[in-house]
């Protein structure tokens, strides 16, 4: 593994290699790794996660119930992977778990003013996890277990992360791109605004189908889920999707993460949303002076209806109950809208489209090699089942559970390729094709570029003081579209 990784090293990748075993870094990745959209504040543990106070607290002055009331308990639930049939690689059965993971944040660490001198890799004081959704079939692991029991349990979680992090961005970008090309003429202002954010999307997704998801593709040959399993994951991702989860202000609020310290994905994502929202509002307000103009635009109606019908199968409520919101309860969550009635409705939706195709994709794509290049931190597959009894895992068994050399080589090569920027990249805010001729929109584009430039400087200044810099939402690295 050392020899393989040494062929292509990165600064963050070196940090991952050095700290992948650390509990603090394990927790940090839920916030700022390649899948920062799973973690949520937890007010009630799921019924299939029977954790007792005695399992996780040595001090009887603490209890899970009290800690949840304080807002100190967080949950990641990978139930979307439950029942996905694991692949067979080189004639050997592989294993993919659907774990539940929880961690506790100390009261002191909730306040940014006490962070001076603390390692920003800290991701919660206490952690416990269960590797299967059915409690009767699974053990609950904690850091008090033996070294290799606990390390192996965390590896199954990291393998689950490997399978989920990039599904949504590519899926949605294609939906938006096809609807744009099919429903709006090239002279329409929304076409002019959005077409730069569709660049190469169809090409890259066709390549993904042929090179990753086909019978001879990398996923089918070297990932625990296999090609059929990935289709199941895609289907479940769509069925559990909500409009609010695509709008980062709503999503962060719904997950109860507004005050979590050292959450750079949130901080940068919210600022980028606001910058893009102001830009979109300035652009569209030039053409839509009042709500009636939105309602009367037949081509606009065709565009959103195409997305609603063909992208989301006319679901009026996406994900009502499929996603586990333990912090707040939403009995019926709104799906993608099927029409626009106000300018603000249109502005919000277009902001979401641009963010999804650019910044959100960058957040889950650009760091793939950083976090998965050192294979033990994100195995594409695991070759042994989880233990059925505590205290039974040895170092030899841990090594036997790792994927074989061929699988490791292919997974490392794949994440390196997918996280490499295009040689002819267009960054967020770059519009080399001059679609707009009016002064108003041209000034709005110029102001947008200035805001992105200022924000990039803020990000880079902050990152100078971080042990692990968070760069994935720096506008100088974010591409306009899903092109890798």
In this prediction the pTM is: 0.92
Write out the residue range of the structural domain in which residue 9 sits: 1-36+163-484
Residue 97 lies in a domain: no
Residue 120 lies in a domain: no
CB atoms within 10 A of CB 50: 13
Residue 305 lies in a domain: yes
Closest CA to 474 of 454, 447, 456: 456
pLDDT averages per 10-residue partition of the chain, 484 residues? 90 95 94 94 92 76 86 94 94 95 72 44 70 87 93 96 79 92 96 96 90 90 92 84 92 96 97 98 96 97 93 65 34 70 97 96 94 95 93 94 94 92 89 92 97 98 96 96 85
Residue 150 lies in a domain: no
> What is the per-residue pLDDT for 120?
57
CA pair distance 464, 468, nearest whole angstrom = 9
CA pair distance 152, 170, nearest whole angstrom = 30
Angle of helix 343-355 versus helix 264-287 axis, rounded to 10: 130
Burial class of 298 by CB neighbour count within 10 A (0 to 12, 13 to 18, 19+)? exposed
Rounded alpha-carbon distances, angstroms, from residue 19 to 14, 123, 186, 194, 415 = 9, 13, 50, 41, 20
CA pair distance 253, 40, nearest whole angstrom = 10
CA pair distance 412, 403, nearest whole angstrom = 12
> What is the per-residue pLDDT for 112?
41
CB atoms within 10 A of CB 200: 20
Task: List the alpha helices (DSSP H) in 126-166.
Answer: 147-164
Residue 59 lies in a domain: no
> What is the per-residue pLDDT for 121?
55
Domain CATH for 31:
1.20.245.10
State the virtual CA torsion across 64, 67, 69, 72 in degrees, nearest 10: -130
The residue count of the chain comes to 484
Residue 476 lies in a domain: yes
Which token pair is 384? Answer: 């042994």
Instruction: Give the number of domains in the chain.
Output: 1
> What is the per-residue pLDDT for 167?
65
CA pair distance 333, 358, nearest whole angstrom = 25
> What is the per-residue pLDDT for 60?
61
Residue 130 lies in a domain: no
């Amino acid at each position: 593994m050392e020899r393989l990784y040494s062929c292509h090293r990165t600064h963050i990748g070196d940090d991952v290699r050095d700290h992948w075993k650390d509990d603090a870094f394990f927790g940090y990745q839920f916030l700022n790794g390649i899948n920062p959209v799973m973690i949520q504040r937890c007010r009630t543990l799921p019924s299939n996660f029977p954790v007792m106070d005695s399992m996780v607290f040595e001090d009887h002055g603490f209890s899970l119930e009290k800690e949840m009331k304080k807002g100190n308990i967080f949950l990641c639930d990978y139930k979307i992977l439950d029942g996905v049939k694991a692949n067979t690689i080189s004639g050997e059965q592989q294993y993919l778990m659907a774990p539940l993971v929880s961690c506790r944040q100390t009261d002191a660490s909730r306040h940014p003013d006490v962070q001076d001198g603390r390692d920003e890799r800290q991701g919660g004081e206490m952690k416990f996890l269960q590797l299967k959704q059915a409690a009767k079939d699974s053990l609950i692991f904690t850091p008090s277990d033996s070294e290799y029991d606990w390390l192996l349990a965390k590896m199954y979680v990291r393998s689950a992360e490997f399978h989920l992090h990039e599904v949504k961005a590519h899926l949605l970008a294609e939906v938006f791109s096809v609807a744009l090309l099919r429903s709006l003429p090239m002279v329409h202002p929304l076409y002019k605004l959005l077409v730069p954010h569709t660049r190469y999307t169809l090409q890259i997704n066709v390549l993904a189908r042929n090179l990753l998801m086909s019978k001879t593709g990398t996923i089918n040959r070297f990932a625990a889920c296999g090609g059929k399993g990935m289709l199941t994951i895609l289907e479940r991702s769509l069925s559990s999707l909500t409009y609010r989860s695509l709008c980062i202000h709503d999503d962060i609020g719904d997950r109860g993460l507004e005050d979590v310290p050292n959450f750079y994905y949130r901080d940068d994502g919210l600022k980028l949303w606001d910058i893009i929202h102001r830009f979109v509002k300035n652009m569209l307000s030039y053409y839509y002076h009042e709500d009636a103009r939105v309602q009367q635009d037949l081509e606009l109606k065709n565009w959103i209806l195409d997305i609603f019908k063909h992208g989301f199968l006319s679901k009026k409520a996406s994900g009502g109950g499929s996603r586990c919101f333990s912090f707040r309860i939403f009995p019926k969550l709104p799906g993608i809208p099927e029409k626009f009635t106000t300018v603000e409705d249109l502005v919000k939706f277009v902001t979401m489209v641009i963010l999804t195709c650019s910044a959100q994709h960058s957040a889950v794509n650009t760091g793939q090699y950083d976090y998965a290049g050192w294979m033990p931190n994100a195995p594409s597959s695991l070759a042994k089942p989880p233990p059925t009894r505590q205290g039974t895992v040895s170092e030899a068994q841990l090594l036997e559970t790792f994927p074989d050399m061929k699988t490791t080589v292919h997974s490392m090569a794949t994440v390196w390729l997918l996280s490499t920027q295009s040689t002819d990249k267009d960054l967020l805010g770059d519009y080399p094709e001059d679609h707009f001729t009016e002064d108003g929109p041209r000034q709005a584009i110029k102001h947008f570029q200035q805001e992105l430039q200022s924000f990039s400087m803020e990000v880079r200044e902050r990152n100078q003081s971080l042990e692990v810099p968070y760069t994935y939402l720096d506008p100088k690295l974010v591409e306009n579209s899903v092109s890798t």
